[in-house]
Amino acid sequence: MEMLLDVISVEPRPDYTLLLVFENQEKRVFDMTPYLDKKPFMKIKHPALFMKATVAYGSVVWPGEIDIAPETLLDHSKPVM
């Protein structure tokens, strides 16, 4: 069983990707574009809102009670080389 890792840092980028750092210090990039046409993420399609991503409770959150599960971020992100 894979260990659940918390996100400890997020850097939202203008291309709708998130530069993530997990608690094991692994850096990964997560592409949000496939999610932006789905609820509740449609609300953060506006670049100014997307750029307000922060870390809370080990995951990435946005204003308006929008969040994404840390396991989704880990499973669907790519390691930074």
1-30 tens-digit pLDDT: 456 899 999 999 999 999 999 999 999 999
Rounded Cα–Cα distance for residues 76 and 64 (Å): 23
Out of 1.10.3720.10, 3.40.50.300, 3.30.2020.10, 3.20.20.70, the CATH code matching 7-79 is 3.30.2020.10
Total count of residues recorded for the chain: 81
Average pLDDT of 74-81?
93
Best CA proximity match to 28, nearest among 36, 39, 19, 16: 19
The DSSP 8-state label assigned to residue 44 in this structure reads G
Q: Is the pTM of this model over 0.75?
A: yes
29-33 contact pairs (CB < 8 A, 24+): 29/77, 29/78, 29/80, 30/73, 30/76, 30/77, 30/78, 31/76
